[in-house]
Amino acid sequence: MEVITPTTELEAINEMLRSIGESPVNSVENSGVVDAVTARQTLRSVSRRVQQKGWKWNTDEGEVLSPSIPDGFLYLPVNCLRVDTSGPSAGIDVVQRGNRLYDRMDRTYVFKDPVTVTMVVGLKWDELPEPARQYIFLAAARQFQENTVGSETLSTFNRRDEAMAWAALVEAEAENADYNILSDSWGVARVLKRTGTTVVGVIE
């Protein structure tokens, strides 16, 4: 029996190539196909924008950052897309500047004590849940197709698939976060607000 596995990055790229009538590739690096390289760049760009919204699967809550020695800086990981103080540190007004936290109130990068934060991180393709992969590659395929071919007919078709994938992604988010529309309707509203949901979630 065939085992169904999550969509690989190469499969997503080949679907994007198919949307403009290009043949699939076995490897982006060794293919010599410019469109394949462009497709991967588009896929990763859309992935970054989708992940930046912040989902349960890429949000780390209660992370404690300790000042480095000897400068006292709070360094952030290279894949940090968004960060804010939380828990016991919620009252500290910080922003991300480069790879460090900056205290806006005291106008300094130097911290004396550890700070608790909630952090949205960028995940590699293989770390994404399947609903996220599906939405990201469909949104990227539509954008890639519009930029490369510019067919209004194909764009309409892709937007329909994209909207369905968005709905599935938001539904999976609500289920994973244990939101109950009957007993915890405010939670559903919160996730829809956090993920930027409108009637149709489309990445422009």
The pLDDT tens digits of the residues spanning 67-116 come to 999 999 999 999 999 999 999 999 999 999 999 999 999 999 999 999 99
Last residue of some domain: 102, 121, 140? 121
Q: Are residues 93 and 109 in the same domain?
A: yes
Q: Which tokens go with 59?
A: 């949000």
Contact predicate 28/37, CB 8 Å: yes
Residues 75, 21: one domain? no
Longest dimension (CA), the chain: 62
> Cβ contacts of residue 177 below 8 Å, gap of 6+?
56, 187, 191
Instruction: Mark whether 14 and 70 lie in a shared domain.
Output: no
Cβ neighbours of 120 (radius 10 Å): 18
Residues 100 and 141 placed together within one structural domain of the fold: no
Range of the domain at 114: 58-121
Look at residue 28 and tell me if it is in a domain: yes
- Looking at every residue in the chain, the average pLDDT score rounds to 87
- pLDDT higher than 60, residue 13: yes
| pLDDT at residue 177, as a whole number | 77
Task: Say how many domains are in the chain.
Answer: 2
| Full-model pTM | 0.83
On whether both 39 and 73 belong to a single domain, the answer is no
Which residue did the predictor score with more confidence, 108 or 189? 108
Q: Are residues 40 and 72 in the same domain?
A: no
Query: Considering 66, 101, 121, which residue would you say is the last residue of a domain?
Result: 121
Tell the residue number behind the tokens 């679907």, with chain if given: 15
- Residue-level pLDDT at 121: 98
Contacts of 83 (CB under 8 A, 6+ apart): 76, 94, 96, 101, 117, 118, 119, 120
Query: Comparing 19-23, 65-69, 130-134, which segment has the lowest mean pLDDT?
Result: 19-23
Domain end residue (candidates: 76, 105, 121): 121
pLDDT grade for 187, boundaries at 50, 70 and 90: very low
